[in-house]
Structure 1
Amino acid sequence: MDHTQSIIDRQPYGRFHRKLFLLSSGGPFLDGFILSIIGVAIAGADEDLGLTTFLEGMVGAAALVGVLVGGVVFGWLTDRVGRQAMYTIHLVVLVVASALSLGVTEAWQLIALRFVAGLAVGADHTIATALLSEWLPSNRRGRTMGALVAMWFVGASTAYFVGYVVASSGGDGAWRWMLASATVPGVLLLLGRLGTPESPRWLLSHNRPEDAREAINTAFGRYPTDAELTQLSESEPPQSARLSELFKGGYLGRTLFAGGFWMCQVAPAFAIWTFYPVILGEYGFEDGNTALLWSVVVSLVTLAGCLPAIRWVDTYGRRPVIIWTFVGVAVSLAMLGLFPGMAAALAITMFVINALSLGGGNILQYIYPTELFPTHIRASAMGVASSISRIGAAAGTYLLPLGLDTIGLGPSMLVGAGIAAVGTAMCVAWAPETKGKPLHESAAVGPRPTAPETVKVP
C-alpha cells in the first residue's frame, strides 16, 4: 500500500472541498473586515465619545490584541477538544460583540467589544485553517490555503466600501452601524457551518477510528475500507496536544520561522494600510473620502497580487514565491524611502508594486504553519504564528505615526524596507519546500512514532 497517499490525498477535489473552503474563507473575510472598518469608523467614534489620542490608540489596537490572545488560547483548545466543536462557537461571540456596538456610549465599551471581536477572529485563524488543511488533498492544498488568505483582502475592500457608503450618507451614530455590519456575514457564516464534519486526522490522533469512518462518509459519501483507514491512521498516531512542543526540538525553528516571516510581512503592511490616507497625503494626494476610495483600490491591487501566487505555490513552489515577494516589498519601500519627493505617478507605481508583492507573499501565511506541524499541534502552531505576527502588526501601526512625526516620511519607509529585507534573509535561510507533500511528511521532524502507538482499526 502506498503510505504517502491516504484516502484524503487521493480524493478528487469536489463539492465537499469547495463548500468547506467557502465556509472557512468567511473567517479571513471577517478578519479583514473587522480590522479595516475601524479605520473608517474611528472618526465618528472620536466625535461622539470624545476620544483622546491614547484612547484612539487603544480602540485601534484592541482587536489586534484580541487576535493575539485568541490565537494562542483557542489554538491550544482546538487541538485539545477538536476542530468541529470550535468551528461555530466562537462565531456566536463575534456576532454578539458586533451587534452590541450599536449600544456603545463609552470608550471602554468600544475597546472591550473590539477586544472580544478580535478574540473570535484569532480563534478562527486556528480553527478554520486546521480543519480545511486536514481535509484537502495534497495536490490542491497550496492553492486552496492560499486562496483562503486572499479572502482577507476581499473583507478589507468590502469594509472600506461599506465605510465609504455609510460615511457619505451621513447620519448620527453612523460609525456604530459600520461596526455592527459585521453581524450580517457573521450570522450567515454561523448557519452555514452547522453540521460540518470533524477532521478524521484529528479523530485518529485521539484514537477515535469509528468516528473518523463516519466523518469520511459524511464528506465523501462512502465509508473507507479497513485498509484505507489503517493507512491514514498510520500517519496520525494518537498523541496529546502539548503547547510546549512548539518551543523545543525541531519544531522550535519552525515556530520561529512561521511567526517570524509572518511578522516581517505584516509589520510594515498593517502600518501602511492603517495610515494610507496620511501617507498618500504626504505624496500629494487628497484626504477624506477620496483617500477611502484609494484604500479600496490598494486592497483590490493586493488581492490581485494573491491570484497568480495561488497558482505559483503549486507550480514553482512555496520557497521561491515567498522569497521573491519579500524582495518586491523591500525594493518598493526602499524606493519610496530614498526618494520621498518623487512624482505622484511614480509613488503610486511603487505602492502598486508593494501591494502586488504583499498579496503574493501573504498567501504563505496559512500554508506554511499548517504544513510544518503535525495534527496534534497544528492549530496551536497556527495560533502562535498568528499571535507573533500581530505583535509586529501592533508595533508597526503604533510606531509609524511617531516615525512620520520624528524622522520623517523617507526614513520611515526605509525602516519598512529594512524589515522586509530581514524577512527575505530569514526565508533564504529557513524556508523549506513543502510543495506536493502529504501533511504527515511535510510536518515530520525526527523519527516517526513506533508501531504500538498506531490506531488499531476494528
Structure 2
Amino acid sequence: MTIPSTSVEDVPINGFHKLLTLRSGGGSFVDGYVLSIIGVVMVQVTEAMSLSSFWQGLIAASALIGIFFGGFLGGWLSDRFGRKRVFFVGPILFMLASLAQYWVESAQGLFALRFIIGVAVGIEYPVATALLVEFLPRKYRGPRLATLTILWFAGAAAAYVVGEIILRSGGQDAWRLVLASAVVVGAVLFALRLGTPESPRWLLSKGREAEAERVIRQVYGPEFSLRNLPEQRERKTLSFWSLLHSGYGKRMLFVTAFWTCSVIPVFAVYAFATTVLQALNLKGDWASFGSVAITLLFVLGCVIATRLINTVGRRSMLIHSFLWSGLALLGLGAYHTASESLILVLFGTYALFIGGAQVLTLVYPNELFPTEIRTFAVGVGTSLSRIGAAVGTYLVPVSLQSFGIAPTMYAAAIVTLVGLLFALALAPETRSLNLQQAASLT
C-alpha cells in the first residue's frame, strides 16, 4: 500500500471531523446554558430565598469560582489520563448538579451546586478543545474552534428562551424547573460523545505508537499512518513549569490576560442581564426581551468572527474586537440615561464586536502550546481568567448599588481596553501555520 505524502493537517474535512465538532461543541452549548441559566432566575431566586446583595454576587460568581479549580483539574487529568476518558466527566457532573438544584433550600446549597457546575465547565474547556484541535486540518482549525464559541452563546440564548417560557408558564417555584432543565442538555451531550476515539497526538506523546496508528487509519483512511502526522517523533517528558521557563511564559501571560479581559464583562452581563438593563432604564418586557436580543447578537458576532477568522487573521481580529466593543461600553456609560433604542444599539454593538475576542479564547490557547502541555495550558488560562471574571461578577450588584450604572459600565470599558493593550503588545499571527509550527517558539 502506498502511503500518501499529504499531512493529516492538509486533508479535506470529513464526516468524523464534523461529528467531533458536534461532540466538542455540545460541551460549549451546555456550558453556555448552565452558566447563563442563573441570570434568568436571579430575580426569582433572590425573592424566594431573601438573598442579600452579598449572596446574589456570590451565587452568580460561584460557577466561575468552580471553573478556576476545574480548569486546573481538567488540564491535568487530560494530559495525564488522556482526552477520551475526561471527555465524559463534565456531562456527568452537569446532570447530577443540575438535577439537585431542583431541591435546593438555601443560598449555601445553591452556591455549592453552582460551584460543582463550574468545576464541570472548567474541565470541559481544555479537554473538548484540545481533542478537537488535535484532529482538525489546519484550514479548518480556526473556524471550527470558533464554532464552539458560537455554540456557547447559542446555549446561553437557549437558556434565556427556555427559562422565560418556563417562568411564564410555571408557578411560584418555576425557577427550580429552570435551573434543573440543564439535566436534559447534559444527558444529550453524554450520549452524543459515546464512541469518541483517543487523540493520536496524545497517544504518541505517551509512546503508544501502535494505538496512535490505529486511530489515524480509522479516522483518515487505511492508507494513512504516523508518517502523515506532522509531530516530533522523539519526545522529552517536560513539565508545564519547565516549558514556561523555556519560553512559553510570555504566551501564557498573553492568553491569560486577553482571555480575562474578554470574559469579565461578558459573564457579568449574563449573570445580571435583566438587572443591568433595568439600571439602564429598560423596564418590564424591554429588559426581558432585550436580554434575549443581546444574547442573539452575541451569537451573530461570533458567527461573523468565525467566517472572517482565516481572512482577517487572529491578531487583527483580536485588536478590532477589543477596540470597538470597548468604545461601545464607554458609550453605555456616557449615555446611560438615553432612550431604550440607543441603549440597545450600544449594547448590541458591544455584543457584535466582542465576538472576535470570544472565539479567539478557544483558538489561541490551543494553537500556542505543544501537545505535552496543551490541555494543561488551556486549563490554566481558563482558571486564571475566571478569577477576574468571578470578582467582576460578584462586584456587579455591589457596584450598581454603591456607584450606579455609569461607573459600572466605565469599569467594564476599562477592562476591555486593557485587553486591547495586551493584544497590541503580544498577539501573534498563526492562521497559516500547522499545529506544530504554531506551538513552536522558533
For normalisation by structure 1, the TM-score amounts to 0.91
Q: CA deviation at 1:63?
A: 1.0
- 2:189 & 2:163 partners in 1: Cα distance? 21
Query: Match for residue 64 of structure 1?
Result: 64
By how many angstroms is 1:49 displaced?
Answer: 3.6
Matched, 1:170 2:166: no
Moved more, 42-51 or 362-371: 42-51
Q: 1:387 aligns with which of 376, 379, 383?
A: 383
Q: 1:26–1:234: structure 2 CA closer, same or farther, 3 Å change rule?
A: closer
State the percentage of identical aligned residues.
40
1:433 alignment counterpart: 429
Calculate the aligned-residue CA RMSD, in Å.
1.9
Of 311, 332, 335, the residue aligned with 1:336 is 332
* Equivalent-residue separation in structure 2 for 1:403 and 1:52 (angstroms): 14
* Post-superposition CA distance 1:188-213 (Å, at most 9, x none): 11111111111111111111111011
Equivalent in 263, 266, 271 of residue 269 of structure 1: 266
Mapped partners of 1:335, 1:240: distance in 2: 50
Residue 285 of structure 1 pairs with residue 282 of structure 2: yes
Q: Distance in 2 between matches of 1:92 and 1:340?
A: 42
Question: Once the 2 structures are TM-superposed, how far is the Cα of residue 275 of structure 1 from its aligned partner?
Answer: 2.6
The answer on 1:320 being equivalent to 2:311 is: no
Q: Number of paired residues?
A: 438
More divergent stretch after superposition (162-171 vs 366-375):
162-171
2:158 — aligned with what?
158
Q: Residue 216 of structure 1 contacts residue 223 of structure 1 at CA under 8 Å; is this kept in 2?
A: no
Map 1:49-448 to 2 at 5 A: 49-222=49-222, 224-225=224-225, 229-230=226-227, 232=229, 234-235=231-232, 237-240=234-237, 242-245=239-242, 247-287=244-284, 290-446=286-442
- Name the CA distance, whole Å, in 2 between partners of 1:283 and 1:90: 36
Could you tell me how far apart the structure 1 residues matched to 2:69 and 2:205 are? 26
Give 1:344 deviation, angstroms.
2.9
Aligned position for 1:454: none
In structure 2, what residue type is equivalent to 1:371?
A: E
Alpha-carbon spacing, 1:170–1:90, altered in 2? closer, same or farther (3 Å) = closer
Distance 1:204 1:195, change over 3 A: same
Distance in 2, matches of 1:405 and 1:134, equals: 46
Report if aligned partners of 1:258, 1:369 keep a CA contact under 8 Å in 2: yes
Q: Which moved more, 1:349-358 or 1:387-396?
A: 387-396
TM-score by structure 2 length? 0.94
- Residues 174 and 397 (structure 1 numbering): CA distance in 2 closer, same or farther, change over 3 Å? same
Deviations 1:399-432 (A, max 9, x none): 2333233333223222222212111111011000
**Aligned CA distance change for structure 1 residues 370 and 86 (closer, same or farther; 3 Å):** same
Cα 1:194/1:55, change in 2 over 3 Å:
same
Structure-1 separation of matches of 2:108 and 2:123: 23
Q: Supply the AA of the counterpart residue of 2:404.
A: G
**C-alpha distance in 1, partners of 2:89/2:205?**
22
1:452 aligned partner: none
Over 3 Å counting, the alpha-carbon distance change for 1:363 and 1:96 in structure 2 is: same
Letter in structure 2 aligned against 1:240: T
Distance, in Å, in 2 between the alignment partners of 1:353 and 1:439 is 33
Give the ranges of 4+ consecutive aligned residues of structure 1 lying more than 4 Å apart after TM superposition: none
Give the conservation status (yes or no) of the 8 Å contact 1:161–1:293.
no
Q: Deviations over 1:353-397 (max 9, x none)?
A: 111011222110100000000001000111111112211211221
* 1:83–1:109 distance in 2 versus 1, CA, 3 Å: same
Would the aligned equivalents of 1:239 and 1:376 in 2 still touch at CA under 8 Å? Answer: no
- State the distance in 2 between where 1:347 and 1:10 align: 46
Deviations along 1:234-289, one digit per CA (max 9) or x if unpaired, are 435434362324642311110110010011111122223333323322332114x5
Question: C-alpha separation between the residues in 2 aligned to 1:105 and 1:360?
Answer: 40
Matched to 1:276, the amino acid is: A
Q: CA deviation at 1:54?
A: 2.8
Change (3 A) 1:177 1:344: closer
Question: Retained in 1: the 8 A contact 2:58–2:394?
Answer: no
Q: Which runs of 5+ in 2 are unaligned?
A: none
